[in-house]
Amino acid sequence: MSCFLCNSSVGKKLVMSVSGCFLVLFILFHMSMNLTAIISPAGYNTICEFLGANWYALAGTAVLAAGVLVHILYALVLTLNNYRARGSQRYAVTVQEPGVAWSSKNMLVLGFVVLAGLAIHLIHFWSKMQLVELLGGHVNALGFGPADGAALIAHTFSKWYNVLIYLVWLAALWFHLTHGVWSMFQTVGWANDTWYPRLKCLANVVATLVFLGFAAVVVVYFAKNCCCTCC
Amino acid sequence: MNFTLKIWRQKDAKSKGGFETYKVSDISEDTSFLEMLDILNNDLIHAGKEPVAFDHDCREGICGMCSLHIDGKAHGPGQGATTCQIYMRKFKDGATITIEPWRSAAFPVIKDLVVNRGAYDQILQAGGFISVRTNSVPDANAIPIPKADADEAMDAAACIGCGACAATCKNGSAMLFVAARVSSLAKLPQGRVEGARRAKAMVAKMDELGFGNCTNTGACQAECPKSISIAHIARLNREFLSAKFED
């Protein structure tokens, strides 16, 4: 069985689908957690404390990192295969086929944008929270406690360029999910002509919820900071 | 109607090809695309030049021989039609038309616009059949088949193996072709028996021949002259994965 997950085209796609599904579920969990920061910064910090350098949070982080790594590695292997299969001679004239979504043809590029955003996000937050705790520190480089997530959010989104970077990142994630979510079902074979419109609608709903949920925190904290500065 | 044609010319599989420009004039709008190429070849032969090599056979959209990537689209403008079903009225008078062969690593160019689509035959030989003893024709009603299943199998069986799916796919994937063959047999009791073996063997051969992986863009179904749905790819995925998990 392990063979077909590494050697067969459909098997490799199954790994992409399952790892993608896992990442989507994590993103939905992360988004719900973030929304707490709007309602109650203190409540959000309690969650941050709960998800600090505890064994279960570290195990979760390790599994998540493995999921991200597998998704990226398989994407690179599949794309390389596809590049070879297309051949060295390309068409001189190409057109966009009707009904083909732009995102479906640019998943790798969108994936790279999402990855770059993830790297920035880890520097902004993870390196100043869980990593500080792991290294035995009690205060991060900005002078906040490692579980003071609300203060870190307020600090990060007090800068307009961070707001812009995060919104571009979330937009790339939106495009990635509009194709990725319904593709998960297609790859495992749970799709047909009746279900395509429903699955594509579900993908758009999930992608939009994720975008709005994350963007709300960014915008609300930026607006709060603007109000505080003006007052 | 008058046209300027930019056609890919390539002496043989090993030679480097390139575009050459030709003019055709006084073409009736009711001329088919292939007849227009026949007229061009007639002119070339009379001028003592090498005619353009291109694949064609039945010229009624059922054999899958004609190919051609015309102005960026497999089988040219229009949907659900092969190149032989395209008429010159689809183009504007005076237009420049670019004609290329299928581009895919698994479909090497043999000459000019002719490519070797033998890879599809090899995939079929790997499992696109049912094993039965040849004998007298069985009673057509001996095995009842639900109408919905028969319809779905026939929709998949409409595949003419022209190669437009792999030629259009940005990944050079043959999944729509393989899926159509697997699906057309999987939905019928006669083909169901060997369903698991067929899916595994055909996917393995497809991978071995260097076709790419499906990324669900749906470009194949948009360009398929028989409008075969990617729902059949979902069925192939189901067939293949359940067969592998049963091993």
- The pLDDT score that the predictor gives to residue A145 is 86
Q: B4, B95 in Cβ contact below 8 A?
A: yes
Give the ranges where A40-159 is alpha helix by DSSP (H). Answer: 41-50, 55-86, 102-105, 107-124, 130-134, 149-156
User: Which of B69, B103, B219 comes nearest A100 by C-beta?
Assistant: B219
User: Which of B98, B203, B230 comes nearest A10 by C-beta?
Assistant: B203
What average pLDDT does the segment B154-173 reach? 96
- The pLDDT score that the predictor gives to residue B247 is 86
Q: Which of B73, B91, B89 is nearest to B81 (CA)?
A: B73
- The pLDDT score that the predictor gives to residue A98 is 87
Are B171 and A4 within 8 A, CB to CB?
no
Q: A167, A65 in Cβ contact below 8 A?
A: no
- The pLDDT score that the predictor gives to residue A206 is 98
**ipTM for the whole complex:** 0.92
**What tokens appear for A6 in the block?**
């590494």
Q: Using one digit for the tens of pLDDT, what is the confidence trace for B170-221?
A: 999 999 999 999 999 999 998 999 999 999 999 999 999 999 999 999 999 9
Report the share of chain B in percent with pLDDT over 70.
100
Residue matched to tokens 């091993």: B247
In this structure, the number of other CB atoms found within 10 A of the CB of residue A91 comes to: 19
- The pLDDT score that the predictor gives to residue A2 is 56
Residue A75 pLDDT > 70: yes
Residue A53 pLDDT > 90: no
Q: For residue B181, is it left (φ>0), alpha (ψ between -120 and 50) or beta?
A: alpha
Residue matched to tokens 């899916």: B199
Q: Which of B136, B134, B184, B191 is nearest to B160 (CA)?
A: B184
Q: Using one digit for the tens of pLDDT, what is the confidence trace for A11-43?
A: 999 999 999 999 999 999 999 999 999 999 999
B240 contacts on A by Cβ (under 8 Å): 8, 10
User: Which of A14, A92, A94 comes nearest B241 by C-beta?
Assistant: A14
- The pLDDT score that the predictor gives to residue A137 is 85
Residue A231 pLDDT > 70: no
Domains of chain A by range and CATH? 14-230 (1.20.1300.10)
Q: Which of A225, A90, A111 is nearest to A173 (CA)?
A: A111
Q: Mapping DSSP to helix (H, G, I), strand (E, B) and coil, where does residue B65 land? A: coil
pLDDT, mean over chain B: 95
- What lies within 8 Å, CB to CB, of B76 at 6+ separation is B33, B68, B70, B83, B86, B90
A87 contacts on B by Cβ (under 8 Å): 103-105, 172
Residue B133 pLDDT > 80: no
B206 contacts on A by Cβ (under 8 Å): 9
Domains of chain B by range and CATH? 3-110 (3.10.20.30), 117-246 (1.10.1060.10)
What average pLDDT does the segment A160-180 reach? 97
**Between vectors from CA A74 to CA B240 and to CA B170, what angle results, nearest 5°?**
75
Q: B81, B75 in Cβ contact below 8 A?
A: yes
Give the ranges where chain B is alpha helix by DSSP (H). Answer: 33-46, 118-127, 147-157, 164-168, 175-186, 189-192, 195-208, 219-223, 231-246
User: Which of A14, A82, A95 comes nearest B212 by C-beta?
Assistant: A82
Question: CB under 8 Å, gap of 24 or more: what pairs does A115-119 form?
Answer: A115/A72, A116/A169, A117/A165, A117/A166, A117/A168, A117/A169, A117/A170, A117/A172, A117/A173, A118/A68
| pLDDT band, very low/low/confident/very high, at B125 (cuts 50, 70, 90) | very high
Q: Cα separation of A190 and A185, whole Å?
A: 5
Summarize chain B as % helix, strand, coil (round to 5): 40, 10, 50
Are B105 and A87 within 8 A, CB to CB?
yes
Residue matched to tokens 């910064």: A41
Q: Using one digit for the tens of pLDDT, what is the confidence trace for A98-151?
A: 889 999 999 999 999 999 999 999 999 999 999 998 898 888 888 888 889 999
Give residues 132 to 161 of B whose Cβ lies within 8 Å of A: none
Residue A192 pLDDT > 80: yes
- The pLDDT score that the predictor gives to residue B166 is 97
- The pLDDT score that the predictor gives to residue B135 is 81
In this structure, what are the phi and psi dihedrals at residue B146, rounded to the nearest 5 degrees? -55, 145
Q: Mapping DSSP to helix (H, G, I), strand (E, B) and coil, where does residue A222 land? A: helix
